[in-house]
Amino acid sequence: MSRLTGIGVSAGVAAGPVARLASPPELPPDTGAEPDPDAATARAREALEAVAADLDARAAKASGPAADVLLAQSMMPRDPALADQVGKAIAGGRSLPHAVHEAFGVFRAALEAAGGYLAERAADLDDLCSRTIAELLGLPMPGLPDPGHPYVLLARDLAPADTATLDPKQVLAIVTEQGGPTSHTAILAKSLGIAAIVACAAARELADDVEVLVDGRAGTVDDEPDPGEAKRAVLVEQERAQAVAASSGPGRTADGTPVKLLVNLGSSAELAVASEVDSEGVGLLRTEFLYLSRTTAPSVAEQAESYGAVFAAFAGRKVVVRTLDAGADKPLEFVDHGEEPNPALGVRGWRLARRTPDMLADQLAAIAEARSRHDADVWVMAPMISTPAEAATFAEQAHALGLPVAGTMVEVPAAAIRARQVLAGCDFASIGTNDLGQYTLAADRMAGELADLLDPWQPALLELVRTTAQAGRELGKPVGVCGEAASDPLLAPVLVGLGVTSLSMAPGALPEVRAALAARTDADCARLADVALAASDAAEARAAVAAE
């Protein structure tokens, strides 16, 4: 038996034979200039629309994060600039398939150069390019394997179109050679409850049908394990999962110190399931779903109705609404985002209000109107806050419009470093560890070879969490975490030990986190936090805490 290692991004243990995702159709040789460039360009537009329509259809069958990701992805092939780029390549003498490949390549290079959120979307362009070329050639995309029995899915990387359609009864676990802890594979696998490991480069050596044991919590893949040991590992995991599922009630440490356990909510499609989960409310209500795929901004009435549905479902519970986080990888058709040399560090989130102040004012008014009609405990926060002045300005505006609790996301290192001053001007903070990690470590969230830097166990990131939480404790203001880090049951006690007062996560992760906190005293949490901070890197921090 040999052991391969990667980054575990979705907990669980599974054993089974490997089945590899087939490669897409190959790009044919370039046959040169098209005899009718206009007709070729028209064919390209039709193929791009067919790909977008297929993604729309997949999104209609999906729900939750999967539907959101697919809808966002369907916007890419519909970008007029992409079709224009194909036309330029055809006019330059390229054959149609090569013109499409070249056009996607131009966009991919631009996104990679931009870094951050935009670079995260670059990998998706490879899949969209392959689908468009397959459409032009009349060839099917290979899709997921179907060996006729449950299997462990192995892939170089997984596109949202494939991940969103996984059947957990057939796909026992996912192992990818590339990707990072905040990739679409990680997010969707967690939402589906499938054990997953990314950035496992050595997985390329695994052959089809070989038996493996995957531990999504430890980030390990055992090649040809002892059958008896594999069976025992799976049974232990099943027993652990049953015990965790039986846990209920508010989040607390073993000493009874309360730690609010909340859910992240990204679309109305997730509402029915999320509201039934044993949680204390919503720690992150993303509002982008109301704005994307539209040609005009939603009216105050439309927004109020949508927010009201969430507030009604979580009556009597806390709901933290994040105002629009658009720009960068989430451009709006009805907003002139202008030309930016580095959009990931440009006008996005709260900064968009500099250009479109009325849009933020309308959103806050809609939230306030919906709040007045329901008895949910409504809080509101702004994304991409960098300075104390920005935090105070947002809080003043929200208070003036009838929203009594207004806070800030802490995603920018500057906001964490100056947390005491930032929190002095608002009511609470919520740490977005995904963005805070990538900005702190200067690492693209989709760069597989940098996945170790994006690990939420990085001591530098944890130090900023402690700085922010300590400021909140001194000022008597709550500080939560709503990034992917909150869903890690091993890391949760560490975050509490650092001073965090609430954790918001995917609904499926909540039972494990609740059980993990209940097993640790306050002193345990503080000690584990010190252990993690004393480590030299993320791997050492994780291993040291796991050994305690």
Which of the following is catalytic: 129, 200, 482, 525? 482
Q: Please tell me whether residues 95 and 110 are part of one structural domain.
A: yes
User: What is the β-pairing status of strands 2-5 and 281-285?
Assistant: unpaired
Tell me if 261 sits within 8 A of 250, measured CB to CB.
yes
State the Cα–Cα distance between residues 524 and 43, nearest whole angstrom: 63
Q: Please tell me whether residues 201 and 230 are part of one structural domain.
A: yes
Q: How many domains does the chain have?
A: 3
Give the pLDDT confidence score for residue 369 in this predicted structure. Answer: 97
Which range of residues forms the domain containing residue 342?
249-546
In the predicted structure, residue 68 carries a pLDDT above the cut 90: no
> What pTM value is reported for the model?
0.69
What average pLDDT score do residues 333-343 get? 64
State the Cα–Cα distance between residues 434 and 436, nearest whole angstrom: 6
Give the pLDDT confidence score for residue 163 in this predicted structure. Answer: 78
In the predicted structure, residue 284 carries a pLDDT above the cut 60: yes
Instruction: Calculate helix-pair angle for 37-61, 116-137, nearest 10 degrees.
Output: 110
Tell me if 11 sits within 8 A of 512, measured CB to CB.
yes
Instruction: Report percent pLDDT > 70 for the chain.
Output: 92
Structure confidence by residue, pLDDT tens digits, 151-209? 999 998 888 778 777 888 999 999 999 877 767 777 778 778 899 999 899 999 999 99
What average pLDDT score do residues 383-412 get? 97
Structure confidence by residue, pLDDT tens digits, 416-441? 999 999 999 999 999 999 889 989 99
Q: Please tell me whether residues 265 and 130 are part of one structural domain.
A: no
Hey, what amino acid is at 526?
A
- pLDDT band at 462; cut points 50, 70, 90: very high
Question: Residue 341's domain is classified under what CATH number?
Answer: 3.20.20.60
Picking from 114, 137, 160, the residue at the C-terminal end of a domain is 137
Q: Please tell me whether residues 376 and 496 are part of one structural domain.
A: yes
Q: Please tell me whether residues 217 and 253 are part of one structural domain.
A: no
Give the pLDDT confidence score for residue 66 in this predicted structure. Answer: 72
Q: Looking at the domain assignment, is residue 365 inside a domain?
A: yes
Give the pLDDT confidence score for residue 344 in this predicted structure. Answer: 64
Least confident of 73-82, 84-93, 263-272, 400-409: 263-272
Picking from 86, 118, 137, the residue at the C-terminal end of a domain is 137
Q: Looking at the domain assignment, is residue 464 inside a domain?
A: yes
Residue 537 has a CB neighbour count (10 Å cut-off) of 14
User: What is the β-pairing status of strands 2-5 and 220-223?
Assistant: antiparallel
DSSP per residue, 89-153 = HHHTT--HHHHHHHHHHHHHHHHHHH-HHHHHHHHHHHHHHHHHHHHHHT-----S---SS-EEE
Q: Looking at the domain assignment, is residue 258 inside a domain?
A: yes
Tell me if 137 sits within 8 A of 31, measured CB to CB.
no
Q: Looking at the domain assignment, is residue 127 inside a domain?
A: yes
| Residue 146: C-alpha distances to residues 11, 24, 112, 149, 150 (Å) | 24, 16, 33, 8, 9
In the predicted structure, residue 238 carries a pLDDT above the cut 60: yes
| Residue 392: C-alpha distances to residues 78, 413, 422 (Å) | 39, 18, 7
| Residue 447: C-alpha distances to residues 122, 331, 346, 384, 438 (Å) | 10, 22, 20, 22, 11
Give the CA diameter of the chain.
Answer: 77
In the predicted structure, residue 217 carries a pLDDT above the cut 70: yes
Q: Please tell me whether residues 117 and 41 are part of one structural domain.
A: yes
Which of the following is catalytic: 101, 184, 200, 525? 184
Give the pLDDT confidence score for residue 216 in this predicted structure. Answer: 92
- pLDDT band at 116; cut points 50, 70, 90: very low
Residue 374: active-site member: no
Give the pLDDT confidence score for residue 530 in this predicted structure. Answer: 98
Q: Please tell me whether residues 268 and 358 are part of one structural domain.
A: yes
Q: Looking at the domain assignment, is residue 188 inside a domain?
A: yes
Least confident of 116-125, 247-256, 495-504: 116-125
Residues 6+ apart with CB under 8 A from 167: none
Least confident of 60-64, 216-220, 305-309: 60-64
Picking from 137, 164, 181, the residue at the C-terminal end of a domain is 137
Q: Looking at the domain assignment, is residue 389 inside a domain?
A: yes
What is the overall mean pLDDT for the chain? 89
Give the pLDDT confidence score for residue 112 in this predicted structure. Answer: 64
Residues 6+ apart with CB under 8 A from 199: 6, 7, 176, 177, 178, 179, 180, 448, 449, 451, 452
Q: Please tell me whether residues 149 and 132 are part of one structural domain.
A: no
In the predicted structure, residue 333 carries a pLDDT above the cut 70: no
Question: Residue 90's domain is classified under what CATH number?
Answer: 1.10.274.10
Q: Please tell me whether residues 13 and 81 are part of one structural domain.
A: no
DSSP per residue, 184-222 = HHHHHHHHHT-EEEE--GGGGGPPTT-EEEEETTTTEEE
For residue 286, give the DSSP letter: -
Residue 149: active-site member: no
State the Cα–Cα distance between residues 64 and 513, nearest whole angstrom: 21
Q: Please tell me whether residues 123 and 214 are part of one structural domain.
A: no
Q: Please tell me whether residues 500 and 356 are part of one structural domain.
A: yes
What average pLDDT score do residues 259-283 get? 89
Q: Looking at the domain assignment, is residue 439 inside a domain?
A: yes
Question: Residue 225's domain is classified under what CATH number?
Answer: 3.50.30.10
Give the pLDDT confidence score for residue 502 in this predicted structure. Answer: 98
In the predicted structure, residue 336 carries a pLDDT above the cut 70: no
In the predicted structure, residue 446 carries a pLDDT above the cut 60: no
Q: Please tell me whether residues 187 and 301 are part of one structural domain.
A: no
Give the pLDDT confidence score for residue 334 in this predicted structure. Answer: 61
- pLDDT band at 117; cut points 50, 70, 90: very low
Q: Where do the H-state alpha helices sit in 332-491?
A: 357-373, 388-400, 413-417, 419-424, 433-441, 451-454, 459-475
Q: Looking at the domain assignment, is residue 93 inside a domain?
A: yes
| Most confident of the ranges 94-108, 265-279, 284-298, 491-505 | 491-505
